[in-house]
Structure 1
Amino acid sequence: MTEDGLPWTPVGQNDAITWPELEGLFRRKNLAAVEEYLVYLTQHGVTCLRLMLEYAQGENRYFEKPVGRFQPNMVRLWDDLFALCAKHGLRILLTPFDTFWMWLRWKYHPYNKHLGGPCAGRRKLLLCPQTIAAIKTRLTFVVERWGGSGVLFAWDLWNEMHPAHMGNSADRFAAVATELSQHVRDLELRLYGRSHPQTISLFGPALHTHPTLADTIFRHPLLDFSSTHFYDPATLDHPRNTIDPAIKVGELVREALEHTSVNRPFFDSEHGPIHLFKNRRYTLATTFDDEYFRHMQWAHLASGGAGGGLRWPYRHPHTLTPGMRQAQKNMVGFLHLIDWSTFRRKNLNHEITISEPAFAVFGCADDTQAIVWLLRQNARYQRKRLVDPAAPPLAVQVQVPFLKDGTYLVQVWDTQEGTMQNQLRAESRDGSCTFTVPAVRTDMALALTRTA
């Protein structure tokens, strides 16, 4: 919910201050182009950007250098970005460090003790008391300068927190989360009388090697929502078609929600074809990538995630395509069909049944509303990589359990056109609502709401 009490959904992507659309911020080289980009985002329904305070792939975007001295050019950059986002109604999910490049280029980072920083090694980042103190100083600066702004949607207190930052041990995961969370929250409450939502993100596969991390990421009592980064070697990282990645996203959302505390929001805050881009140095063809993106977005939303997840572009250059922006806009149109202020959704990917095995089904519901997304599995073209848009349409009977008895409006949404295709009436009896969608060709989203 916004400060005005209106439903709000995180729709956006990962961005960076060195990537094409935002690079004009540095030294105010081209603020007009940056503003034009932000306007373009709002026109396509984007509500937030996930950003790192610094981007450490090079040497000229460090937020501090030396430690404790906040670079004037970077401070002005963020002043300008916060002002532009406020002007155009965009919000920022902010994380204080670019931990990926910080790790890879540790010998250059100002926090390195050999360069006058506090930390003797990157494996001690979250163990070293002096480094924790420096991190808190950075957080304090940001809270004092920009923490009073509604532009700051939430804090990702540490990007992809990992046992490698703590001597390859997960023992202090919860303690570090508590220390960072309390520092930011106490400061915001003292200065502004309220605090922004907080999360700590996790590289999703780390749960398989360190399952105890789930206690902190999904259930820590001081964190307000859960976020992980969806990566999977067999599907998401190196997609061979646009269907299997969507099915995997549905599985990952369900798994995350099973871990997450009741009524705590969850969303994937980073995903994309990382192996193809980083290891194979390959950029997906636009037509394929657009469908891959759209399918993953709808699988995430329909499975019970907040919004469609936040893509890391993994394109050259690092920008989302016009087709991806249109997909975001089309999803935002659908969001208005649900009363989010009362929707207490649970994942029902396994519980919803359909008559037609040609489709995969994704869904979530409470007792008076539901979202269902149907994805065609058996009609593929272009070497079986894409869903065939010329496939013959099929009638699909859908049965959604656990709904209160009564009459339901079923609104059928065309995800590719962003338009209402049909409206149906259905009855729920004995806790189950059954209806038939007459003609589904590739995929279709459904919004169910109980009528008065």
Structure 2
Amino acid sequence: MPPFPATEPNAPTLPWIQVAPGAPYFTTNAGQPWTPIGQNDALTWPDLAGLFRRQNVAAVEGHLAWLAAHGITCLRLMLEYCQTEHRYLERPVGRFQPNMVRFWDDLFALCERYGLRLLLTPYDTFWMGRRWRHHPYSRAQGGPCAQRTQWLRDAGMRQAIKDRLTFAAERWGGSGALFAWDLWNEIDPAHAGRRPAALAEFVSDLSAHLRAVEQRCFGRSHLQTVSVFGPVLGHYPAVAEVIFRHPLLDFATTHLYDAATINNPKDTLGPALATGRLVREALGEMPATRPFFDSEHGPIYTFNNRRRTLPEAFDDVYFRHMQWAHFASGGAGGGLRWPYRQPHVLTHGMRAAQRSLAVFAQLLDWASFQRRNLNHEVQVSDPAFAVFACSDVRQAVVWLLHQDRPLTRRAAPRAPRPLAVQLSLPGLTPGPYLVQLWDTAVGQALGQLALVATTVGLRIDLPAVGGELALAIVPAPSSAGSC
């Protein structure tokens, strides 16, 4: 392994991210709320490509500054990208490439500067699998492992994975710009000889190893998760034990790909309903205090199989509806989109939706929000509206989405006729509440209501709801009024 010079110190460093004590959301170690709002990105995609070999650092810095100004807090990246031959972190195995190391040195420094954080996963398992014979870890290239089916069980491969995590942790693990480790991207029994039981041992081994490295270097460790391609849970139900309940993991992440809706969307309603259903199912699988979010989603079949990019106006609404369905159903943040666009970046409309969510998120106290999903429990007077909601005994988030004549790919966007709606929200402690209204299509506040919850719940009368509306429900201060 060639020697690398130490990175320049960044002072002051960003606070580290932790799970809120007793609540399934995130805070900094200074106690400030932190919500993961962002997307997947990659070394070769347009927004970050200029950082490789420092071809255009100014453009990347300008982009990151722009993201921070729009409420973006988190980027999910893989330490290498294997669709081509030029972005391997190691080549051959164990020899870390100087240009790649410098890329990450620079990216961490920029993220520190602009307050952005990274969810890192060590391997691009999608392209690594499809181009396995080219990968430095493949025995065909002198690496330790002969077959993809042995990735998680081969002793030489396991040691190479640990060595990579050790290198990354020692070099970048001291930074608060590192949000968390996704120990393995889209873990699958197919990577372990189709033996689901092998996954728990693999996660335990890697988790303990990485924590030991960070404890040795920094006296503490970053959060950990393991992601899964959602449909794998249907084929191998036992994988849920690892993804949602493994005792060494800090939070749970899945990739929300639903074949009938999300993967190849025909309208913007079906993906939102599927997101709400999948988030509810996930929350039902895990401890009540464990955070959950979708760390990858998007129109994978439309883009990869049909070679089509969704019309931008349609894609913006599809994105926004999935974001709010995820958030209101109890997910932390709005989920992390894989762009699936040409070029491979999010649109300005999607960024506006993220900024809207970032502002709305400031209305709630996440450090004390012990949410439970209420998508089925909230009663709504008009079935024209789908309801996505989560609540504890003091706070609630509700999102209403008009179901009639949803936007399709070929239709021009149009707002449904506003309708009066009554909601009944169970479970809140009796007393006064402030209901803050948010237009999620436009991204602006619409005022607030002062209401009183009784022993039978909180009744909310909304005189005119158009296509979509979010509600942030919090205890009212003694001087609260209505407007």
Offset, 1:426: 1.5
CA contact (8 A) 1:239 1:245 kept: yes
1:237 counterpart SS class: coil
Aligned residue number for residue 348 of structure 1: 374
Aligned residue number for residue 443 of structure 1: 468
**In the alignment, which of 229, 233, 252 is matched to residue 207 of structure 1?**
233
Offset, 1:36: 0.8
Match status 1:219 vs 2:245: yes
Mark the runs of 5 or more structure 1 residues left unpaired by the alignment.
none
2: CA distance, partners of 1:379 / 1:317: 30
1: CA distance, partners of 2:389 / 2:412: 22
2:145 counterpart SS class: coil
- Matched to 1:410, the amino acid is V
1:158 counterpart SS class: coil
* CA shift in 2, pair 1:382/1:295, >3 Å: closer
* CA shift in 2, pair 1:215/1:225, >3 Å: same
- Matched to 1:215, the amino acid is E
Give 4+ residue runs of structure 1 displaced > 2 Å after superposition: 379-388
- Matched to 1:376, the amino acid is H
Aligned residue number for residue 17 of structure 1: 43
CA deviations over 1:60-102 (Å, ceiling 9, x no partner): 1000001000000100010000001101100000000000000
**In the alignment, which of 448, 453, 465 is matched to residue 423 of structure 1?**
448
Offset, 1:451: 2.0
Alignment coverage as a number of residue pairs: 451
1: CA distance, partners of 2:190 / 2:229: 12
Aligned residue number for residue 147 of structure 1: 173
2: CA distance, partners of 1:385 / 1:105: 39
2: CA distance, partners of 1:422 / 1:26: 47
Aligned residue number for residue 410 of structure 1: 435
Match status 1:305 vs 2:305: no
Offset, 1:383: 7.5
Aligned residue number for residue 6 of structure 1: 32
Higher mean displacement: 366-375 or 184-193: 184-193
Aligned residue number for residue 114 of structure 2: 88
Mark the runs of 5 or more structure 2 residues left unpaired by the alignment.
1-26, 478-483
Aligned residue number for residue 259 of structure 1: 285
Aligned residue number for residue 361 of structure 2: 335
Give the share of equivalent positions with the same residue, in percent.
Answer: 58
Offset, 1:421: 0.4
* CA shift in 2, pair 1:447/1:75, >3 Å: same
Offset, 1:415: 0.9
TM-score (normalised: structure 1): 0.98
Q: How does 1:168-317 map to 2 (within 5 A)?
A: 168-317=194-343
1:120 counterpart SS class: coil
CA contact (8 A) 1:53 1:63 kept: yes
Between the two structures, name the one with larger relative contact order (CA 8 Å, sep ≥ 6).
2
Offset, 1:262: 1.6
CA deviations over 1:27-53 (Å, ceiling 9, x no partner): 110000100110111111000100000
1: CA distance, partners of 2:408 / 2:224: 43
- Matched to 1:405, the amino acid is P
- Matched to 2:58, the amino acid is A
Offset, 1:425: 1.5
2: CA distance, partners of 1:381 / 1:101: 33
CA deviations over 1:133-192 (Å, ceiling 9, x no partner): 010000000000000000100000000000111012212111000001001111111211
Offset, 1:380: 4.0
* CA shift in 2, pair 1:143/1:206, >3 Å: same
1:283 counterpart SS class: coil
| RMSD after superposition | 1.1
Aligned residue number for residue 133 of structure 2: 107
2:368 counterpart SS class: coil
